[in-house]
Amino acid sequence: MTIQPASLRIAILGSGKGSNAQCIIEAVASGSLDAQVACVLSDVEHAGILDRARRHGIPAEYVSAAPYRTKLAGDAERAYVDALKRYGANVVCLAGFMRIIKHGLLSAFPDRVLNIHPALLPAFPGLDSWKQALAYGAKVTGCTVHFVDAGTDTGPVIVQRAVPVHDDDTPDSLHARIQVEEHKAYPEALRLLAADRLRLEGRRVRVLPAP
């Protein structure tokens, strides 16, 4: 007997404009990603990501992460876990959520928290990675979708996509080129998860062939 994995109920957490959230929502709406978007949560009250979700009829909530500035911890972490459970989410996608995720949320969703990072990890972790790539003089950068672990941008890599850095790039032009690839990478990673084709082996993610 084959045990079918539960279908994905995705919660998206973001702090900004929400272009990655939009791509995930569109992939679900078009049928190219077999999943549901259960909710969108933001730690920024008027973030664009909440408007985008509401325009698609998806439950969208501002959940304060105060009093911390850069992490999700304590009462705020509990409020997020409560909201995620309330919406029946079984996978959590960080999409421009600008906080460090701690044990409480990770242990509530083991191996089910994903993040998108605007660089080819392990290069340029942390903030403003496209600016870091420019300042370093990298000729190639890109984006990474990875499982989130207890470190900062250190979890097992699921999908990476590369982009060239051009001599005349500005931070904005480079970030825009990276985002084009992000918008392919996140749905691609979620399609693999939805099809139960990802196997974690240590810190390596093995992708099973399509049936």
H or E segment to which residue 163 belongs: strand 157-164
Applying CB under 6 A, the span of 58-66, 85-93, 116-124, 199-207 interacting with ligand GAR comes to 116-124
Contact by Cβ (8 Å): 59, 86: no
Closest approach, Cβ 172 to ligand GAR, in A, equals 12
Query: Is the bond leading into 122 cis (omega within 30 degrees of zero)?
Result: yes
Among this protein's residues, is 103 annotated catalytic? no
Closest approach, Cβ 14 to ligand GAR, in A, equals 5
Residue 19's Cβ-count burial label (10 Å; 0-12, 13-18, 19+) is middle
18 binds ligand GAR (CB under 6 A): yes
182 binds ligand GAR (CB under 6 A): yes
17 binds ligand GAR (CB under 6 A): yes
At CA 4, angle to CA 9 and CA 184, rounded to 5? 50
H or E segment to which residue 13 belongs: strand 8-14
What CA–CA distance (Å, rounded) separates 120 from 131?
13
The residue from 117, 146, 175, 183 that is catalytic is 117
For residue 177 the two structure tokens come to: 């080129």
Among 11, 93, 95, 190, binds ligand GAR (CB under 6 A): 95
Between 14 and 187, whose beta carbon lies closer to ligand GAR?
14
Between 13 and 38, whose beta carbon lies closer to ligand GAR?
13
141 binds ligand GAR (CB under 6 A): no
Residues serving a catalytic function are: 117
